[in-house]
Chain A
Amino acid sequence: MKIDIILAGVGGQGIISIAAAIGYAAVESNLYLKQSEVHGMSQRGGEIQSHLRVSDKEVHSDLTPQGSADMIISVEPMESLRYLPWLSPDGWLITNTKPFINVPNYPDINLVLKEIESFPNHITLDADDIARKLGSARSANIVMLGAASPFIEIPYEKLENGIRGIFSRKGDKIIKQNLDSMMAGKEFTKNYLSETSKV
Chain B
Amino acid sequence: MEKLLLLGDEAIAQGAIDAGLSGIYAYPGTPSTEITEYVQRSKLAKERGIHSDWSANEKTAMETALGMSYTGKRAMVCMKHVGLNVASDPFINSAITGANGGLIVVAADDPSMHSSQNEQDSRFYGKFALIPIFEPSNQQEAYDMTYEGFEFSEKYEIPIMIRLTTRLAHSRAGVKQSALKDQNKISLPKDMRQFVLLPSIARERYKILLDNQANFEKESEQSVYNKYVKGKDKSMGIIACGIAYNYLMENYTDDECPFPILKISQYPLPINLIKKISSECKKILVLEDGYPLVEDMINGILDKDLIVLGRTNGTIPRDGELDPNIVAEAIGKPIKKGKDVPGLVVGRPPSLCTGCPHIDSFDALNEALKEYSKGRVFSDIGCYTLSALPPYESINSCVDMGASVTMAKGAADAGLKPSVAVVGDSTFTHSGMTGLLDAVNENSPITVFILDNSITAMTGGQKSHATGRLENICLGIGVKPEHLKILNPLKKHHEENVKIIKDELAYNGLSVIIPTRDCIEIIKKTKKTTKEIEK
Contact = CB atoms under 8 A, between A and B. Distances in A.
Given A40-B459, A60-B246, A103-B348, 15 more contacts: A23-B172, A27-B3, A27-B174, A34-B172, A37-B171, A44-B352, A57-B253, A64-B324, A65-B336, A68-B336, A84-B340, A84-B341, A88-B336, A115-B342, A119-B339
Closest 8 CB pairs of A and B: A67-B336, A40-B30, A40-B115, A46-B350, A61-B250, A44-B350, A62-B171, A36-B171
A26 to B, nearest CB: 9
Instruction: Tell me the dominant secondary structure on chain B's binding face.
Output: loop
A23 B386 contact: no
Most buried by A among B3, B325, B341, B459: B325
B172 A41 contact: no
A115 B7 CA distance: 35
A107 B346 contact: yes
Contact of A33 (B174, B458, B460): B174
A102 B351 contact: yes
Interface of B: 3, 5, 7, 30-31, 33-34, 114-115, 167-168, 170-174, 243, 246-247, 249-251, 253, 323-325, 328, 335-342, 344-353, 383, 386, 458-460, 532, 535
Contacts of A40: 30-31, 114-115, 458-459
A39 B342 contact: no
16 contacts: A24-B5, A34-B172, A37-B7, A40-B115, A44-B352, A44-B386, A60-B247, A60-B250, A61-B324, A62-B173, A63-B323, A65-B250, A67-B337, A81-B341, A81-B344, A102-B351
B173 A35 contact: yes
A61 B345 contact: no
Given A66-B336, A66-B338, A41 B350 contact: yes
Given A24-B5, A63-B167, A67-B336, A41 B115 contact: yes
Contacts of B253: 57, 60
Given A33-B173, A35-B171, A85-B338, A41 B458 contact: yes
B170 A43 contact: no
Contacts, number: 160
A80 to B, nearest CB: 9
A1 to B, nearest CB: 13
Contacts of A36: 167, 170-172
Interface of A: 10-11, 23-24, 27, 32-47, 51, 57, 59-69, 78-79, 81-82, 84-89, 91, 102-103, 105-108, 111-112, 115, 119, 169, 171
Contacts of A107: 344-346
A98 B172 CA distance: 29
A39 B170 contact: yes
A165 to B, nearest CB: 10
B350 A45 contact: yes
Contacts of B249: 60-61
A35 B346 contact: no
Contact of A111 (B168, B344, B347): B344
Contact of B346 (A34, A87, A103): A103
Contacts of B386: 44
Contacts of A68: 336
Contacts of B350: 11, 41-46
A47 B246 contact: no
B324 A46 contact: no
A69 B3 CA distance: 26
Nearest to A115: B342
Given A39-B30, A62-B243, A67-B337, A82 B114 contact: no
B383 A44 contact: yes
Contacts of A111: 344
Contact of B5 (A23, A65, A78, A87): A23
Contacts of A89: 338
A36 B173 CA distance: 9
B172 A42 contact: no
B114 A41 contact: yes
A85 B337 contact: yes
A82 B347 CA distance: 9
A45 B274 CA distance: 46
Nearest to A64: B324
Contact of A66 (B30, B167, B337): B337
A159 B336 CA distance: 30
B497 to A, nearest CB: 24
Given A33-B174, A45-B353, A62-B243, A81 B338 contact: no
A78 to B, nearest CB: 6
Given A43-B350, A78-B345, A84-B341, A37 B172 contact: yes
